[in-house]
Structure 1
Amino acid sequence: MPITKMSALRCPIEQSPLQLVDGSWRCENGHSYDVAKQGYVNLLPVQNKRSKDPGDSKAMVQARREFLEQGYYEPLAQVLADTVLAQGEQAVLDAGCGEGYYLRYLVEQAVQNGTDLSVAALDISKWAVQAAAKRDKRLSWMVASNNSIPLDDNSVDTILCVFGFPVEAEFKRVLKPGGRLIMVDPAGDHLKELKAIIYSEIKTKSDNLPVNSEYWSLASEQRVTFQFELNNNQAVQNLLTMTPHLYRSSAEGRERAEAHSSLQLTVDVWVRAFSFES
């Protein structure tokens, strides 16, 4: 079986190893975390939450799922999969997996290529992880935070951080020696057409690397740019709902975007692989 669940989970409270017993992950100190019927485990203790319902809302998750399933971002998913699978057999953590689109694409490519992967994924949004787990039972899905990754030290070969927020200390802790961090971040022209509609002034995107270059070495860098067209109003609304522009823009800007029934858009992102310099 080329795809397996990562099992090196640890208790988010005690940091001791977790064992799966009768449908629950349990540590030696008596903490227990039930596997939900959808197939995920919630390893985000109440004391580690910054709000009652952190992360993407149910509406944002649904909008992203509907949008991505149309294949608009498939060229990016392919580049990301190629970058990961160039290393062959490995243990992969998707740190900020959302509803799982990019990870599912990667896993399917691995199956087609016959590449063995051990896979775990986390997101702080319960709604995102719930939606992801429903779609693929082969992976270890966790509600958790990048600030406290519930995995053992030196247990991961590759971390994915796709449009996410890196926590460098935790990433370094869980990576094996020689491991990689693969990040996807917006470049200067990403969704420029949407920004022109919703903002009166567009800020210039910084070219700074997303991690500290004193500790991380840039192993590879690829700028991925392509265009696609949205040809219905629902797709435009889904795009707006699934991005940070939903809460960064003014009500007037959102109204202008939501009035469009079609949009020609540009995807412009960096796909970078970093190695950790210990």
Structure 2
Amino acid sequence: MPFRPHEALRCPLDGLPLELQDGCVRCPNLHSFDVARQGYVNLLSAQDKRSKDPGDSQAMIAARHRFLEAGHYRSLADSVGDLLLPHITSDSLVVDAGCGEAYYLECLREGILKSGQPEPQMLGFDISKWAIQAAARRFSATWLVASNRNIPLRDASVDLVIDMFGFSDFASFTRILKPAGLLLRVQAGAQHLLELRHIIYPELKDRKESTMLPEGFSLVQNARLEFDVPRLDRQSISDLLLMTPHLFRASADGKKRAAALESLSINVDVSLELLRKA
């Protein structure tokens, strides 16, 4: 897919505007970043890397793709669309922070087009280059390898930020959102994947959910979504574990118990908060 430049793009090194020139984006100080043949730009600066290959691996992205494309979380994607559609116009800049392979952003785009509304400007970024390569195969948009800590966008340029199960950086979100801009925050609830957690952990700790609003935001709307996913097969169980933080937290014995399962039914429990920048 071709890369879509956007006027809000800023150089991660000096904050100056980036323009598309001869197959790269370049700022007035001549910092240059190549447009990859897959249709994205890597704007992750060295200081924002904690490893040589940060973020989710190729195997994790492939697992998430298989699991999501099987439709197991489609109810969540539809709920996100129902919540956001009334707030999006053709002039909106919608940013998916930590977009992964962009399943939810593509579902939102499909819902917008089905409603008859014009397609808004869409931008997704993730710290994993493998995630962004997968995202760029979905549809043409502004795809970036970048970090929440240093979002390469102009101040007050974004209408809507989507944060799906991410590591939120509210200071960065506040900076890039327009006055009265919106933030959708989706978080795991107390009962989320409880059946899997019982298997991979010897003892479960009470999961405390944050009820405090981030500073500088007011609540527009909140919702709780719970649904069952029946009888996941062995491959889907493996994919689910591989795409969640539980992969790194579970013990070796817990992972073996999960790998031995022939099937598993799970409960999905998430909170959706639509917040407005004060």
TM range (shorter): over 0.9
SS in 2 for 1:97: coil
SS in 2 for 1:99: coil
Query: After superposition, where does 1:30-109 map in structure 2 within 5 Å?
Result: 30-89=30-89, 90-109=92-111
Amino acid at match of 1:49: K
Let me know the Cα RMSD of the aligned residues.
1.3
The answer to whether the 8 Å contact 1:11/1:27 transfers is yes
1:6 deviates by 4.0
Amino acid at match of 1:125: S
Amino acid at match of 2:198: A
> After superposition, what is the alpha-carbon deviation per residue over 1:21-57, rounded to whole angstroms, capped at 9, x for unaligned?
1221110000111111110100002232111111111
Structure 2 counterpart of 1:129, from 124, 129, 132: 132
1:163 alignment counterpart: 165
The answer to whether the 8 Å contact 1:230/1:236 transfers is no
Partners of 1:175 and 1:132 in 2: how far apart?
23
Does residue 18 (structure 1) correspond to residue 18 (structure 2)? The answer is yes
Amino acid at match of 1:232: D
Query: After superposition, where does 1:1-278 map in structure 2 within 5 Å?
Result: 6-89=6-89, 90-116=92-118, 117-137=120-140, 139-209=141-211, 211-212=213-214, 214-277=215-278
227-236 or 169-178, which deviates more:
227-236
1:136 deviates by 1.3
1:211 deviates by 4.8
Partners of 2:105 and 2:31 in 1: how far apart?
29
1:7 deviates by 3.5
1:110 deviates by 1.0
Amino acid at match of 1:218: L
SS in 1 for 2:87: coil
1:5 deviates by 6.2
Amino acid at match of 1:124: I
Partners of 1:188 and 1:5 in 2: how far apart?
40
Stretches of structure 1 lacking an aligned partner (at least 5 in a row): none
1:210 deviates by 6.5
User: 1:96–1:224: structure 2 CA closer, same or farther, 3 Å change rule?
Assistant: same
> After superposition, what is the alpha-carbon deviation per residue over 1:49-94, rounded to whole angstroms, capped at 9, x for unaligned?
1111111111111100011000000000001011111113021000
The answer to whether the 8 Å contact 2:158/2:181 transfers is yes
SS in 2 for 1:71: coil
Partners of 1:47 and 1:227 in 2: how far apart?
41
Partners of 1:5 and 1:29 in 2: how far apart?
18
The two structures have a TM-score, normalised by structure 1, of 0.95
The answer to whether the 8 Å contact 2:226/2:269 transfers is yes
The answer to whether the 8 Å contact 2:7/2:17 transfers is no
Partners of 1:191 and 1:77 in 2: how far apart?
17
The answer to whether the 8 Å contact 1:91/1:119 transfers is yes
Aligned length: 272
Partners of 2:208 and 2:12 in 1: how far apart?
34
The answer to whether the 8 Å contact 1:92/1:118 transfers is yes
Partners of 1:210 and 1:38 in 2: how far apart?
40
Partners of 2:83 and 2:146 in 1: how far apart?
25
User: 1:210–1:36: structure 2 CA closer, same or farther, 3 Å change rule?
Assistant: farther
Give the share of equivalent positions with the same residue, in percent. 48
The answer to whether the 8 Å contact 1:161/1:182 transfers is yes
1:153 deviates by 0.9
1:160 deviates by 0.2
SS in 1 for 2:272: strand
User: 1:48–1:244: structure 2 CA closer, same or farther, 3 Å change rule?
Assistant: same
The answer to whether the 8 Å contact 2:241/2:247 transfers is yes
Partners of 1:211 and 1:55 in 2: how far apart?
27
The answer to whether the 8 Å contact 1:6/1:119 transfers is no
